[in-house]
Chain A
Amino acid sequence: DVKVTQSSRYLVKRTGEKVFLECVQDMDHENMFWYRQDPGLGLRLIYFSYDVKMKEKGDIPEGYSVSREKKERFSLILESASTNQTSMYLCASSLPIYRGTYEQYFGPGTRLTVT
């Protein structure tokens, strides 16, 4: 079974702190994604990566950066956390388009609270 794990289920940070959210997948997937999920807004794509060291901005990249140094690991970084970044963060991975599959596999999520 594909497994996507996220470093924490719950995280509480203070305004201005630098926050790292880690995601690891064990199926050798090329693509990895970071989303945030907020009530009434659904899931919104922050960043995605289609290969090691490659990244593209999603719909709401402001205030975030990402790092992909190894194929299995994709990190989301909040350089200076703010209260409006309090949210559920979901990581996902998938095979690339040319492999003919379209399913994204999601981790359980990290609920981040910034106070």
Chain B
Amino acid sequence: DAKTTQPNSMESNEEEPVHLPCNHSTISGTDYIHWYRQLPSQGPEYVIHGLTSNVNNRMASLAIAEDRKSSTLILHRATLRDAAVYYCILRRLTGTYKYIFGTGTRLKVLA
């Protein structure tokens, strides 16, 4: 199964943009890229997903490399509430319906 690689941790100052990278060099053509985040003492929550094109929603933006071997989650203005573990996940479109979770990036936001 395709895997994702993320830095273990990152820091950002409050109100500044944050770019969270993810490598997925073995991604297949039908794998969707999903991002979830897990706030302390909670289950993961959906952030954004995409296939080939960059995506924007109210929470974040997702930039996908042209070769799809990497992607970047962009938080435009980090707040203290954004401190969480961010997971970059591949989801296979056909066959077994499952997510492949990596170990995630712990984001620390400094006031």
Chain A residues close to B by CB (< 8 Å) = 4, 31, 35, 40-45, 48, 50, 56, 58-59, 90, 92, 96-97, 102-109
Residues of B within 8 A of A42 (CB): 87, 101-104
Q: Which of A4, A50, A56, A106 has the most CB of B within 10 A?
A: A106
A-B contact pairs, 20 of them (CB 8 A): A31-B97, A42-B101, A42-B102, A43-B99, A43-B101, A48-B97, A48-B98, A90-B44, A92-B44, A97-B97, A102-B32, A102-B49, A103-B46, A104-B36, A104-B99, A106-B43, A106-B44, A107-B43, A108-B42, A108-B43
Q: Are A90 and B103 touching (Cβ within 8 A)?
A: no
Q: What are the 4 A-B residue pairs with the smallest beta carbon separation, nearest first?
A: A106-B43, A43-B101, A103-B46, A42-B103
Give A90 to B41 CA distance when docked, in angstroms: 11
Q: Are A43 and B87 touching (Cβ within 8 A)?
A: yes
Give A58 to B96 CA distance when docked, in angstroms: 9
